[in-house]
Chains A and B, each alone.
Chain A
């Protein structure tokens, strides 16, 4: 479904992403792992058009989406959540998700119909699914960090995507929130049949929910394969553990 080949981007000569490759099949859950600064977020930014690549190609369902604007990428059916909480601060939880739905339905040019009567059911359904229905009318700035991370995902779901990119969905969450969030991701896959690409530092989560794993180090792809392949790959161990010969985990 998503095919990334030799993608590169440098900032002032620093190669943040250097010939990264990645492939995701429909219905799969793929994790991207790597040490801090490996270029995971940059890779996601390149795929979603937030920044433009210097070289390489991104194919989505056979279409070339390299260098498109984020809103164009979104309209192709790719949604994402952000690592650093990136919600609409002054708007209520409900409005946060609703605007995403309105945008998908191409209603943002509608100047005169009151928005308060639109897409209510769908918004409430998403909030119900992710477990935010109780805080529906709170301003999103008043939420806890964990709730805001979930709101991140809810906004992404408002776009009714086929392909969901989650950038460290559980970062900064409490253990209970993390458990709930993992449950949510599993549910998204099973109930909605979403294809999910995510990155995460917690190896336990990575191994428990992903079908395949891609490992990035210093901007390049080291390996992409099943959990087994990755666990015993020598290069991965070098990168993570400084070359010890025990299996990862």
Chain B
């Protein structure tokens, strides 16, 4: 019974991936672009959820790593003169190191205090990027990042995003199912008990924060591929809040929840903001409804129904 449930889930995922691969064949260019944005935003939200939903760490300013990954990639391509592919490694690495540094400072605090300090440190990074005209381009950002030919076309960018996102999602999933992930979820549920069974809680959290920073950075460098630009708003704290909302909306205890939340919010942002400038109001109302009626998020709710069905049959 459990097997078949798992099997059907796997089937859904495979079908989804196939459909995603076929997208560029029958969708217009704009929708392909939109799909790529959803994928990379979803990856960013999933990497946040790695520490938020699975690690219980209130990483409130995750967009910093997204932005730093993007800037790292763009600046590496523009200024170093080295092989542009290197940029896609350097960006995430810089984000991971920043994740480690901010983590080192914040990890001694717990829950909300961690979140507050993290927001302020993240905003500091944002302010530096925003003001450092000579290096980062300041509030103008950087436009027209030259990319390797194979990924410079819209479809090339889309496939690159799809493949890298897929691989990253698999790696993160594997990590959650590993002993490391097991200990991480233990810490989320009960840090005191975790220490008492011999888990070094802070080190475990630091490693998780570094990993989350890395994959946030991967998402950022994918944005460079898809959009060809970077700008300081990518690491403004409002985007971080959106990322948190994506996790809550989709379901922060289900693995694909944040990806789904990202799809909903990106689509809302695209379509509702065309109708009204108050699109955040719509978002707020949706968020309230979710918290009241689906406290485990949309996918969490679907999971619940599936489990109930499996029990009844």
Contact = CB atoms under 8 A, between A and B. Distances in A.
Interface string A110-148: 111111101000000000000000000000000000000
Given A107-B179, A114-B177, A115-B177, A99 B190 contact: no
B153 interface: no
A102 B182 contact: yes
A103 B193 contact: no
Nearest to A90: B189
B183 A99 contact: yes
Contacts of B192: 50, 70, 86
Given A71-B201, A88-B190, A116-B177, A50 B182 contact: no
B277 interface: no
A109 B207 CA distance: 9
Interface string B188-207: 11101111111111001001
Contacts of B201: 71
Interface string B159-185: 000000000000000110111111101
A115 B179 contact: yes
Contacts of B197: 71, 74, 79, 99-100, 103-104, 155-156, 158-159
A87 interface: yes
A70 B179 contact: no
Contact of A111 (B175, B198, B253): B175
A98 B193 CA distance: 14
A109 to B, nearest CB: 6
A95 interface: yes
B177 A91 contact: no
Given A90-B185, A90-B253, A102 B190 contact: no
Contacts of B177: 114-116
Contacts of B204: 108
A112 B185 contact: no
A42 interface: no
A80 interface: yes
Contacts of A115: 177-179, 181-182
B91 interface: no
A88 B193 contact: yes
A111 B180 contact: yes
Contacts of A195: none
A192 to B, nearest CB: 17
Contacts of A71: 195-201
B185 A108 contact: no
Given A69-B195, A115-B178, A89 B183 contact: no
Interface size class of B (residues with CB under 8 A): 20 to 34
B212 to A, nearest CB: 13
Contacts of B207: 109
B258 interface: no
B198 A118 contact: no
Contacts of B67: none
A82 interface: yes
A100 B188 CA distance: 15
B257 to A, nearest CB: 14
A99 B182 CA distance: 6
B179 A102 contact: yes
Given A70-B195, A71-B199, A86-B190, A91 B185 contact: yes
Contacts of A158: 197
B183 A112 contact: no
Nearest to B2: A137
B186 interface: yes
Contacts of B174: 111-112, 114
Contact of A50 (B186, B196, B200): B196
A75 interface: yes
B285 to A, nearest CB: 29
A138 to B, nearest CB: 12
A102 B197 CA distance: 10
A63 to B, nearest CB: 16
Nearest to B180: A111
Residue of A75, A82, A103 contacting most chain B CB atoms (<10 Å) = A103
Contacts of A90: 185, 188-189, 253
Nearest to B183: A108
B290 to A, nearest CB: 19
A158 B193 CA distance: 13
The 8 closest A-B pairs by CB, nearest first: A74-B198, A70-B195, A108-B183, A88-B189, A100-B197, A107-B179, A102-B179, A103-B198
Interface of A: 48, 50, 69-71, 74-75, 79-80, 82, 86-91, 95, 98-100, 102-104, 107-116, 118, 155-156, 158-159
20 contacts: A50-B195, A71-B196, A71-B200, A71-B201, A80-B196, A86-B190, A87-B189, A88-B193, A98-B182, A99-B197, A99-B199, A100-B198, A102-B183, A103-B183, A104-B198, A108-B199, A109-B179, A109-B207, A113-B178, A115-B182
